[in-house]
Amino acid sequence: MSSRQASRVALVRTTDRALGVDRSIEALKTNPVRGKNVLVKPNFNTADRFPASTHNDTLTALVQKLWDMGAASIRLGERSYPPTQQVMQDKNIFALMEDLEVQVVNFDNLPEKGWVKVDAPDSHWRDGFRVARPVLEAECLVSTCCLKTHQYGGVFTMSLKLHVGVVPTSRHGFSYMDELHSSPNQRRMIAEINAPFSPDLVVLDGLEAFVDGGPMTGQQARGEVFLASTDRVALDAAGVAVLKHLGSNTQIMQPEIFEQEQIARAAELGLGAASASDIEIVPGNRESREYCGKIVNILDKG
């Protein structure tokens, strides 16, 4: 048994996004947002429909919840795979965020000083990587992700993989994304991107999931679940357990959860839970208890 305090992951069984956001956050019994200037990092890798990208209803519910929790200000920041401006336009993000009094930060438009070089000599990156300065300097970072597999080497894409979007596609003629996606260490490199910063809150919308394929299109299953945590490693471990529960591909079903390279490397770096015994999964409402028990059993078995 680990001596570290268990990381709480709240689980809510629901088909209602607003309820899922509210109950999962409330079940954590913490408010890292009050009085803080908040930066929200969504999943806008592309503008493809949920679960490929963050559902606008989830984003709306999350922003409204953050205001209710006492956020001093809220910004949304992202770097997408196609041009970020086009992805946000296709998803109607600019108008939506204006109505919610949220400033949008397109990481593609950051000046040179808006990117911070991280040398990371102990990482699998050949010459380190750059991270968007707004992420590193955020007083409170809130991330929201989807539940899906990743057919291009990531195996799964949840809260750890979400943060690939804080690294530029390329800079000074060098493609960070080419290095990442061509490396046999891709999953370890994904974890290493997360080392310079730490989200204060992560919310996962698993109403539907890609159980094979992904991240843009894939085989879908109804997950009917929201997860929330202040520990991104614990949340990803619980998310993989949900994928196992739904029935996924061999890359998800065969390895033990903490043997998944993203999770193992993140745990090694001290970014969160190091084993299932470090995680406490709590139901966000009475209706979630049975589902919660199933996920706990899968997580404990690995």
Per residue in 115-141, pLDDT (tens digit) is 999 998 899 999 999 999 999 999 999
Of all residues in the chain, the percent with pLDDT exceeding 90 is 97
Q: Does a structural domain hold residue 263?
A: yes
Looking at the domain assignment, is residue 169 inside a domain?
Answer: yes
- Residue at 37 is within a domain: yes
Burial 113-146 (b: 16+ CB within 10 A, else e): eebeebebeebbbeeebbbbbbbeebebbbbbbb
Q: How many other C-beta atoms lie within 10 A of the C-beta of residue 60?
A: 18
**Residue 5: its pLDDT value, please?**
85
66 within domain boundaries: yes
**1 domain residue, yes or no:** no
Q: How far apart are CA 205 and CA 231, in angstroms?
A: 16
Mean pLDDT of the chain: 97
In this predicted structure, the answer to whether residue 1 has a pLDDT above a threshold of 60 is no
For residues 97-112, give the mean pLDDT.
98
- Compute the half-sphere exposure of residue 191: CA atoms within 13 Å on the CB side of its CA: 23
Q: CA dihedral in degrees (43, 44, 48, 54; nearest 10)?
A: 40
Residues 187-209 have a mean pLDDT of 98
Could you tell me if residue 49 is inside a domain? yes
Q: Domain tally for the chain?
A: 1
Contact call for residues 44 and 91 (beta carbons, < 8 A): yes
Residues 71-90, mean pLDDT to the nearest whole number: 97
- Local confidence band at 3 (pLDDT 50, 70, 90 cut-offs): low
Instruction: Give pLDDT tens digits for 216-257.
Output: 999 999 999 999 999 999 999 999 999 999 999 999 999 999
Residue 2 lies in a domain: no
Q: Identify whether 51 is preceded by a cis peptide bond (ω within 30 of 0).
A: yes
pLDDT, one tens digit per residue, over 271-290 is 999 999 999 999 999 999 99
Q: Residue 133: CB partners within 8 Å, gap ≥ 6?
A: 110, 113, 114, 115, 116
**Is residue 2's pLDDT more than 70?**
no
CATH number of the domain at 247, please. 3.40.50.11440
| C-alpha closest to that of 214 among 40, 46, 42 | 46
Average pLDDT over residues 29-36: 98
pLDDT given for residue 302 in this prediction: 83
Strand 140-150 to 129-132 pairing = unpaired
Q: Which domain holds residue 24?
A: 7-301
